[in-house]
Amino acid sequence: GEKISEAKLAEELHISRTPIREAIRMLESEGFVSIIPRRGTIVSEFSLEDLYEYFQIKACLEAFAAASVVDILSERDLAKLKRLNEEEMSAVKAGDFSHYLRIHDDFHQTFLVRTGNRKLALVLQQLGFHIRRLEKIFNDHPEIFIACSETHGDLIAAFESRDSQRVRDIVERNILHIAENIRQYEDGIAGNDAT
């Protein structure tokens, strides 16, 4: 809960306070900050439970999106997915998890943009912003990256066979598996705090 000063931001950015206020209202509507009367603007606390819930939402939406593009992915799209999956595996082997996350995002964007649904893309992008707030968890657990990369190979095979139900199942299972790993991480922290 760090406090945000409109005046300080306006001074640092050399702009008036009006665009700062508008940006803060937008951040509040997206859950990144809280505006508390007579206290000001505070960066919202973010728990592992919040992250778990975001992953549950992401699983539903992304599984729907992936299944909806099964019949329209081109050979070029499939080739790009294969290339990105190979790059993911290389990043994991090199221990470069920030690079892995960029490639992972590109992998998912490759099929998400094919939906043509801008509202869905926007909602998933906003979920991604929230998920990135606890990126350190992922860096501490490389097994999550390895499992995702392996699952992406299965997903590509399902896309190639044009099996929308299998695609839906793989995407949903993969994302929920990540969410469950996060829940176990949270349980581990709670267990450590109790000792």
Flag whether the pTM goes above 0.85: no
pLDDT in the model for residue 194: 45
pLDDT in tens, the chain (195 residues): 788 888 888 888 889 988 888 988 888 887 788 888 888 888 877 777 888 888 899 999 999 999 999 999 999 999 999 999 999 999 988 988 888 888 988 999 999 999 999 999 889 988 888 887 766 666 666 677 777 788 999 999 999 999 999 999 999 999 998 888 777 766 665 455 444
- Identify the CA nearest to 5 among candidates 42, 37, 31, 32: 42
pLDDT in the model for residue 97: 82
pLDDT in the model for residue 133: 72
CB of 81 closer than 8 Å to CB of 110: yes
65, two tokens: 């999106």
Identical fold, 3-43 and 48-194: no
pLDDT in the model for residue 39: 83
Q: Which residue has the tokens 């043509």?
A: 116
6, two tokens: 């409109």
pLDDT in the model for residue 181: 79
pLDDT in the model for residue 195: 42
Instruction: Give the architecture-level CATH label for domain 48-194.
Output: Up-down Bundle (1.20)
pLDDT in the model for residue 116: 94
Q: Domain boundaries in the chain?
A: 3-43, 48-194
pLDDT in the model for residue 185: 67
CB of 56 closer than 8 Å to CB of 183: no
Kindly report the CATH number that applies to the domain delimited by 3-43: 1.10.10.10
